[in-house]
């Protein structure tokens, strides 16, 4: 669809040039503005990290251990749940606890991004209304903030791996591109949910409920090897399972899972296309929705 142009011409005063204000409308203009917004957020990436660090400091202001309280609580939870569920599922504790540790860490990361991303624009309403700033920056801020929290929790993973002598396998090199894919997915998910959550205020509680349900149908607390062949086929349709497996498998010493990578790339492409389309169509209306 060709881009339309609207013009507003002001009456020129004697001795002054005529003022013409133009505004482009159409799909092409919307896509270009959305891409410019994303590019501007990348250019302001230092500001994103500064705001994320400010969020962490504000959240734990006055605390003795700061964000390490989350690390301590995560370690206690993994220890308690790991010992209990290893007996309930008849799993070897030396294999189950590293599996549970990585699974919970990764799930907490993506789940928190989804729930916080649904409110990333509404919580930044004062910034959106008062200053010129790319809207996608607020979605990037959510990802950066949770990335800092994940960095604190890496201590738990290192301790568990050292206790049970778990070493990453030859496919450990794939963790780097997998993590980059995670960051891209987290940003796109936060951006799309932030836009939809700004328009429909029912979205944040719905996202919270959906993530709670997804937690139980995704192999986080239980191992996929417990399922039968037909049930494994259904599990492979779960996008969270594919995303977690491309990170978890190599860290636990397993080989490269080609099917998980294929599904993860497929779902990521759908998410990126859907997120960019929604953001491009609604970007101009965000200041009115928040």
Say how many domains are in the chain: 1
pTM: 0.85
As a whole number, mean pLDDT of residues 256-278 equals 93
In this predicted structure, what is the pLDDT of residue 142?
Answer: 95
What torsion do the CA atoms of 173, 178, 179, 182 make, to the nearest 10 degrees?
180
What is the extent of the structural domain holding 84?
37-289
Which of the pair, 170 or 25, is modelled with greater confidence? 170
Count the Cβ atoms, other than its own, within 10 Å of residue 23.
10
Q: Which of 33, 29, 96, 49 is nearest to 286 (CA)?
A: 33
Question: Above 90 in pLDDT, residue 246?
Answer: yes
Domain contains 3: no
In this predicted structure, what is the pLDDT of residue 285?
Answer: 92
Domain contains 128: yes
In this predicted structure, what is the pLDDT of residue 89?
Answer: 81
In this predicted structure, what is the pLDDT of residue 2?
Answer: 47
Which of the pair, 149 or 69, is modelled with greater confidence? 149
Domain contains 14: no
In this predicted structure, what is the pLDDT of residue 153?
Answer: 85
Question: Above 70 in pLDDT, residue 39?
Answer: yes
Cα angle for residues 249, 239, 31 (degrees, 5° grid): 120
Which of the pair, 71 or 102, is modelled with greater confidence? 102
Give the pLDDT confidence of 137-188 residue by residue, as tens digits. 999 999 999 999 898 888 888 888 888 888 887 888 899 999 999 999 999 9
Highest mean pLDDT among 16-25, 56-65, 113-122: 113-122
In this predicted structure, what is the pLDDT of residue 167?
Answer: 83
What is the total residue count of the chain?
290
Question: Above 60 in pLDDT, residue 12?
Answer: no
Domain contains 50: yes
- Residues of the chain with pLDDT > 70, as a percent, come to 86
Domain contains 9: no
Domain contains 270: yes
Give the pLDDT confidence of 182-219 residue by residue, as tens digits. 999 999 999 999 999 999 999 999 999 999 999 988 88
Q: What is the mean pLDDT of the chain?
A: 85
DSSP letters along the chain, please?
-PPEEEEEEEPPPTTSPPEEEEEEESHHHHHHHHHHHHHHHHHTHHHHHHHHHHHHHHHTTT-SSTTHHHHHHHHHHHHHHHHHHHHHTT--HHHHHHHHHHHHHHHHHHHHHHHHHTTTTTTTHHHHHHS---THHHHHHHHHHHHHHHHHHHHHHHHHHHHHT----GGGGGHHHHHHHHHHHHHHHHHHHHHHHHH-TTHHHHHHHHHHHHHHHSTTSS-GGGS-HHHHHHHTT-HHHHHHHHHHHHHTT----HHHHHHHHHHHHHHHHHHHHHHHHHGGGHHHH-
User: With bands split at pLDDT 50, 70 and 90, how would you rate the model's confidence at 14?
Assistant: low
User: With bands split at pLDDT 50, 70 and 90, how would you rate the model's confidence at 66?
Assistant: low
Question: Above 80 in pLDDT, residue 126?
Answer: yes
Rounded alpha-carbon distances, angstroms, from residue 186 to 99, 112, 173, 232, 239: 22, 10, 21, 26, 13
How far apart CA 113 and CA 111 sit, in angstroms, is 5
In this predicted structure, what is the pLDDT of residue 41?
Answer: 92
How far apart CA 217 and CA 290 sit, in angstroms, is 33
As a whole number, mean pLDDT of residues 1-23 equals 51
Domain contains 145: yes
HSE-CB at 196 with a 13 A cutoff on CA atoms is 22
Structure tokens given for 267: 């779902």
As a whole number, mean pLDDT of residues 46-57 equals 91
Domain contains 181: yes
């Amino acid at each position: 669809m060709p881009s339309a142009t609207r013009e507003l011409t002001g009456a020129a005063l004697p001795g002054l040039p005529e003022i013409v204000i133009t505004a482009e409308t159409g799909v092409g203009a919307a896509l270009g503005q959305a891409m410019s917004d994303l590019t501007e957020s990348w250019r302001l990436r230092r500001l994103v990290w500064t705001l994320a660090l400010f969020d962490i400091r504000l959240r734990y202001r006055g605390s003795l251990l700061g964000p390490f309280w989350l690390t301590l609580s995560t370690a206690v939870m993994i220890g308690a749940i790991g010992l209990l569920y290893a007996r309930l599922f008849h799993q070897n504790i030396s294999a189950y606890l590293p599996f549970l540790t990585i699974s919970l860490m990764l799930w907490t990361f993506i789940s928190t991004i989804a729930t916080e991303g649904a409110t990333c624009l509404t919580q930044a309403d004062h910034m959106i209304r008062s200053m010129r700033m790319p809207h996608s920056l607020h979605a990037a801020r959510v990802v950066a903030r949770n990335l800092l929290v994940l960095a604190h929790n890496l201590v738990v993973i290192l301790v568990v791996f050292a206790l049970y002598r778990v070493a990453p396998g030859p496919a450990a090199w794939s963790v780097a591109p997998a993590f980059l894919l995670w960051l891209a997915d987290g940003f796109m998910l936060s951006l799309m949910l932030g836009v939809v959550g700004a328009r429909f205020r029912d979205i944040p509680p719905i996202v919270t409920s959906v993530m709670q349900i997804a937690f139980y149908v995704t192999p986080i607390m239980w191992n996929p090897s417990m399922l039968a062949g037909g049930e494994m086929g259904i599990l492979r349709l779960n996008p969270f399972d594919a995303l977690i497996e491309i990170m978890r498998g190599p860290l636990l010493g397993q080989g490269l899972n080609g099917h998980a990578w294929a599904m993860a790339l497929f779902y990521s492409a759908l998410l990126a296309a859907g997120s960019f389309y929604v953001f491009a169509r609604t970007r101009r209306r965000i200041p009115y929705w928040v």
